[in-house]
A and B are shown apart, each in its own frame.
Chain A
Amino acid sequence: MNREDALRSEIHQVLDPITGPTPELLPGIVQRLRPVSRRRPLLAIGQVAVVLGILIVGAVVFSTHRAPVRGPAPVTTSPITPIVAGPGADIAWITSQQSSGGSYTGDIVTGVDPSGHVVGRINARDELRSPDGSHLYALVDGGLDVYSAVDGHKEQTIRLQSVSFGEPMLSADGRYLTVVGGSPSTTLQLVDLSAGRAVASTNVAAPADGVGLVVGAHAEHVYVVGATIAKFAFDGATLRAQQRQTGHTLACDGLVVGGANSAGGLPFRVLADGHTLVAFCPSDGRVTWFDLDTMAVTHEVAVGQRNPFWVSPVFSPDGNTLYLHEGGTGALHAVDLIHQTVKSTKVASADNNPLAWLRSLLVTDAYAGSISRTAAVSPDGTWLFTVGAFSAPGGATLVHLPDLAVKGQWLPEVSLHSVWVSADGRTIYLLENGDQLRVLRTDGSQVAKLPLPAYTDTFIVPTIP
């Protein structure tokens, strides 16, 4: 019997006595079906009648006080300022999950250029993309594969110590990569990507599960952030444990929920001051400021969210603002990370469907899943593209960030779940339900629509911690 079967057997032994024999449930259920089924239409009719009445009165009042609303004027979101990006940075790389016998076996990663042509395919797992967008990295057994983002060809394999459940992370400048993981003890490995080799490793001891965070141009400090935070100093050759913070640190007991690229990006960033870590916790909607020098939480705010994992976090290009977009409701929070203030508004579906809000009265949703990338910021920080009505049509919404105003909408009849903007800001990639990719220009014109391998998941976006 292998370890998995042994654990399965133990869990059965523990839970079977709690469960006991299954009680007779059906009679009680059947009793409750009839009254519900009779009452429900009357209740619904009553609710709809009330709502319609309100809407009619509202429409009359509105029409007497306001000019007719015109459709949005054509909007262009072309960038104001160019950004520095590497080769291939305008190419979208999209994961499609593969399985065999019910077990995850890795991803097919498809590269699509701004003209809608497939430029390459990679078989990989645990992928990251360099901050300049030019390379893709994937953990393999005992190593790290490095791919070109131009066409997906493998450039090299960097040897690493073998780890189980390794969590990779890049430094903000893309020079260093850390891998935290291993069994039985947790190891931190530091890789100098410019040198193409692992330069140091050390035993972390605790936290057992964490993400490596590199601070400094030469990785002077490396933090392992999990349920606790451990700080290491790097002198160019060795990593030395320096400080350890235990107990409450971040809301999520770590930086990343559900894998390094679970949000198609990252829910954390180190601010420009170089010592303030800001992390968003998708479980409870809290944003935490953590001082990496004093190793202490300095501030926290909580944004309202209807359900865990509904909110997609995305940082402004300058890293000073965190946008939190709740795909299911269209709520948008702009968190000023410098002044620690929050400005909230509503975008998307509520503007298109006047009855959309009614759904929240009649339906209680729970969406305990990973985070979809429902928002992306243009490279110049002017526009936010949002999608995500959770399987419902709604298209993409264009939000003008300086005033958080909705300025336009694309493909309103289409159900979209993820969005990414190319590094030059001229191409918008949209993942549609049903494993379809749409490629759009900044004026909303569609360049291409193409199918992707089944179980399409998300974009591998540049990693900027």
Chain B
Amino acid sequence: MTKINTVNDLENLRNKILEDREKFRATLVICGGTGCQASRAGGVIDEIKKELDNHGLNESVCLRTTGCHGFCEQGPLIVIEPDNLFYCHVTPDDVHEIITKTILNNEIVERLLYTDPVSGNLIKTESEIPFYKAQDRQILTQNRQVDPCSIEDYIAIGGYTALGKTLFEMSPESVVQEIMDSELRGRGGGGFPTGLKWAECREAPGDEKYVICNADEGDPGAYMDRCVLEGNPHLVLEGMLIGAWAIGASQGHIYVRNEYPLAVDNIRVAVQQARESGLLGDGILGSKFSFDVEISRGGGAFVCGESTALMASLEGKVGEPKPKDVHTVIDGLWHKPTTLNNVETWANVPAIMKNGSSAFAAKGSKGSKGTKILALTGCIKNTGLVEVEMGTPIKNIVFDIGGGANNEKPVKAVQTGGPSGGCLPVEKFDLPVDFDELYDAGSMIGSGGMVVMDEETCMVDVAKYFLTFLQDESCGKCVPCRIGVSRMLEIVTDITEGRGKLEQINLLEELGDTLSHTALCGLGKTAANPVLSTLRYFREEYEIHIEEKKCPAGVCQELITYAIDPESCTFCGLCKKACPHNAITGEKKQAHEIDLGLCIKCGICRSECKFESIIIN
């Protein structure tokens, strides 16, 4: 590893790397993120290495394994630079053709191209794909450009130059001012002005200060931080270095969820490489600034995403939040001033220092500047990670980027902000992705999870789901959250099982209000949001469950029955064979029937039936 002792060393190294790469006529970029690994990208990578060897192409074709590109359902993905030809659903068997036809002969393998589900056309390059075209990928583009385990890749795209500029051309106070001017707000869900947080921490009395990167992304359905930390760990490190210098810290902590093993591995490699090149340690880039980080793994507790609980966990204790009458920027980790920021917040910092705060603030809406990475999932055609300018209307994201509903059932709602957020109906899709506007509407951006729901999603069941999650994850210390969430769950469960009473809706609202005012931490305070927002916009669904004891979406098991449609049944007998409770009877050439007394609605018959003959009443 080349030692980088000065800003000049950095610049020289960057030029050398770029020079060395001029010999490559093409670069094969393959996504190695967790999603594509689940789709067996590992096999494709091995095959590519073999083929490049066999054809003697190792000196002229560069193979780059990157982090997550975001278009996970199309994986394994390959992008071939410099034209950015885009191949999807690549299998190891396709590799030979890719090398011989595309690399050696410049021919396109048409069957590997992306087919636009809306127009039916084949699309050649990544930038023409509607999914990517409608985005503003300030941070995510870099995921395609770097191998997370290569500090050289990061340096080649200009990495660590922002750090150099900060250390030698600015004062710590002016760095804080720059972040304040950019109006960057926390990307982890709180939306607190980052500049203000840094200013307060800088002012706080004490010589020993800490910076923490919160990578305990616990919102179910959100994986933005995994993607950034896994795919571009040096970007986060650079952000932390700049922040630490600005507030006066010399020690940092990165707290990663244990459920993200690849992210843990990659950040460890990145830290090791940064230390070896002298970018972490003493006298960074020849300045008087010293800084190092420690990596800690979460223990599997959503509540540890809360800042005081995270700090308790770093101190080796149970993750119980503490009252925040004194802010953690003054009394934080080990009772020292601590700046805790989310992964995406740190990832935004280098660009602000490099390009200036006005460039950052030029994007976005009045109260929310810059871009936001969202995890777009659920019942739509194009699922994956997207990055959009703040202020983009939700409907653009769901329909232009997401491509609309993934089966014939129309989109019904979108859930944003995870368990602290809420559900917004289609009528509200004109609302922009904006901290304050979504908050006023009863939801929030949160960390960026956006789950699209269609008519087969029961909103009461969604409320039950989130309450079950929160009951599981509550630390249990304070009465309103521990007992209140459990009682709300009891009531909502009664409603989904046909025992609900109308006055319980008022009780839910009152209990929700009590929680929001009296719970000790953010988890408890926002625990009622999923219930309250579904009550606000989908009250009729609750009323139908209570008054008619029916579930319109066909989800709540106590209120539905399965039946076989005699018109479409082809008597194939697959369902009968698969039913684990022998609830299906029927002879050959006869429409089969389900015995409702034995049926437990496990759903196996529906997944086996190829003719969609099993319907829900």
The finding on whether chains A and B are genuine partners in a shared complex, rather than unrelated, reads no
Residues of A participating in the B interface, judged by any CB pair closer than 8 Å: none
Residues of B participating in the A interface, judged by any CB pair closer than 8 Å: none
